[in-house]
Chain A
Amino acid sequence: MTPLIEFCSLSKIYQMGETVVKAADNISLKIYEGEFVALVGKSGSGKSTCMNIIGCLDVPTMGRYLLGGRDVGQMNKNELAEIRNEKLGFIFQQYNLLPKLNVLSNVEVPLMYAGIPKKKRREIAMEVLDKVGMSDKLRNLPSQLSGGQQQRASIARALSNRPSVILADEPTGALDSKTGREVLALLRKLHAEGNTVVLITHDNSIAATAERMIRLEDGQVIFDGAVSDPASGLKGEGAGA
């Protein structure tokens, strides 16, 4: 079985004046379809770099990144935009809904870029909003919603194009713990329905939601295994926290 996401000796090197920063240092990893993986690391560990590369927002300096068997490193900007649109669903810490558009229109944005006709777009958007329990807020602007509601809307937007990977970057970072748990429960539900979810976080307790954990430090993978593995460093925070 081809991995959905495959890093082959991947490095990302930044030149910051005189110093050379290896944000990702020779990382190799594979994520298969249907997995729920937490990418954990402290600030500066390289997790953001990995997320940007997985999200096709950035390309590696060395090594290869294969998404669904295709080499992303060789793609031009247009192809990257296309693949982001088709294969990836982003969930951001700050929700990143477009402030001037209502919830329904926000969810339609990726579908619009995919060239889906208006009527069909509306249909799909209603469906995914129903799935995240937001069908009663279709016409609201993001500013009229609570943080939890905004994050649900952004999850609906991430789902709208039926992406291969849902990429959640600190999805609970701006939420209180109760709403945060609800959002995590929603991610688990999506995983249970067969979606591949990659969760990027610095928080061990949130990482424990996932099934598999990849811990990064100084641009290198220092742990890759089941969340339940005692070596994961989660110290009994266990799945289902």
Chain B
Amino acid sequence: MKLMESLSLALQNIRSSKMRSFLTMLGIIIGIAAVMVIVGLGNGMEGYITDMFQSMGTNSLTVRINSFNASRSVSVDQMYQIVEKHPEYFDLISPTVSMGGTVKVGSDTLDSTTVTGVGETYFAIKDYAVQTGRGLRYMDVANRNHICVVGSYVADEYYGGSAVGQTIRIGGAAYTIVGVLEASSDSSEEGSADDAVYLPYSTAARLSGSGNINSFTVTMLSEDQATAAKTALENELYAILGREDAYRVTSMSEILDTMTQTIGVVITVLAVIACISLVVGGIGIMNIMLVSVSERTREIGIRKALGAKERYILSQFIIEAAVTSATGGVLGIGIGYGLSAAATVLVTSLMDEAMTVTPSVPSVIVAFGVSAIIGIVFGYLPARKAAKLNPIDALRYE
């Protein structure tokens, strides 16, 4: 007997009792849809976090020196030397000095604007482009010039777009704006990355009163080397500072890896839980197939009398179970896509963040395969029972 005939026979039997077939499939439908949505959520979260980290620069290391307990400290020159010493790992370095101090434009106070002292390479590190005017130069740092570069939000909001040449007051001192950065995102608003002022770090250090510069951003040539680069940097810092708690090197790509792994574990656990419903669905299929076998005992007897071998009966019932299960799988995939789209809308509106719940194509293929295999596995026992029926008893069965 050919496969196609078994298939059409199976479809015929499934169609002849639609309600029962649907209820049988329900466990599989729910299981597959649940697995798809969960995997989709995981993909969405991973994508969202990766995007977020990439905008912060995954190829950078952040160094913090804890100056409060350091009998020794690391100078800016020493940091530059470390970077130059390892050209195989490092590319650029910029000190970063975060500052308080009120920012004023005329009589307006800018409460949310961040003020950061940076080196001349900082914009290259962050991949910020200068829109008008110029960026920071080495001479600005060396001479502690009272100049600054502002973000597009500040320029647009307080200077009507033409900020270059204007003055801004930070902590009482006046600074000349020499450049405006391009908007970093579509939504330039208060508190965003574009609501910022950048000074030469030397100027900022003096302004903030502490001579020490305790924070640096270092870029790597390749983020694949993150771990090795981080170790090299730590070794150098240890050589200078002599104690491990005096410095901390943070690698964005390592954090990203850790987070991605964590999400992966959480999603796997959830998917395994969802898989339990697939097993329950499989048991449902087995149950209905057993009922079907006893209902069709006489049919099996007739078929055997007419010359059906055991393996024909076996394959007929297994195929029927597999087709039932796979049909459930296909419906589940459809529903899974629907729910994923709904989840995308829901998450986006709830969190006010764009996050797409995307079931991956491999997960869809695996889901379909799993549903077919469940049918085969759980259909085997009933099918074997059918195949082993004694034809004489089966023919006599009422």
Contact = CB atoms under 8 A, between A and B. Distances in A.
A109 B16 contact: no
A81 B1 contact: no
B303 interface: yes
Nearest to A90: B305
A113 B392 contact: no
Contacts of B391: 57
A100 B16 CA distance: 9
B310 A77 contact: yes
B308 interface: yes
A-side interface size class: 20 to 34
Contacts of B303: 98, 109, 113
Contacts of A127: none
Interface string A180-205: 00000000000000000000000000
Contact of A58 (B5, B309, B392): B392
Contacts of B311: 78
B1 A100 contact: no
B307 A81 contact: yes
- The prevalent SS among residues of B at the interface is helix
Contacts, number: 59
B230 interface: no
Nearest to B302: A96
A52 interface: yes
A86 B307 contact: yes
B312 A96 contact: no
Given A90-B305, A99-B299, A161-B307, 14 more contacts: A52-B392, A57-B391, A84-B305, A90-B306, A96-B302, A98-B299, A98-B302, A100-B13, A109-B306, A112-B5, A113-B306, A113-B308, A113-B312, A115-B1
Interface of A: 52, 55, 57-58, 77-78, 81-82, 84-86, 90, 92, 96, 98-100, 109-110, 112-115, 157, 161
Query: 8 closest Cβ contacts across the A-B interface?
Result: A85-B307, A113-B307, A81-B309, A110-B306, A96-B302, A84-B307, A57-B391, A57-B392
27 contacts: A55-B305, A57-B305, A57-B392, A58-B392, A77-B310, A81-B304, A81-B308, A81-B309, A82-B309, A84-B304, A84-B305, A85-B307, A90-B306, A92-B395, A96-B298, A96-B395, A98-B299, A98-B302, A99-B299, A100-B12, A109-B306, A112-B1, A113-B1, A113-B303, A113-B307, A113-B309, A161-B307
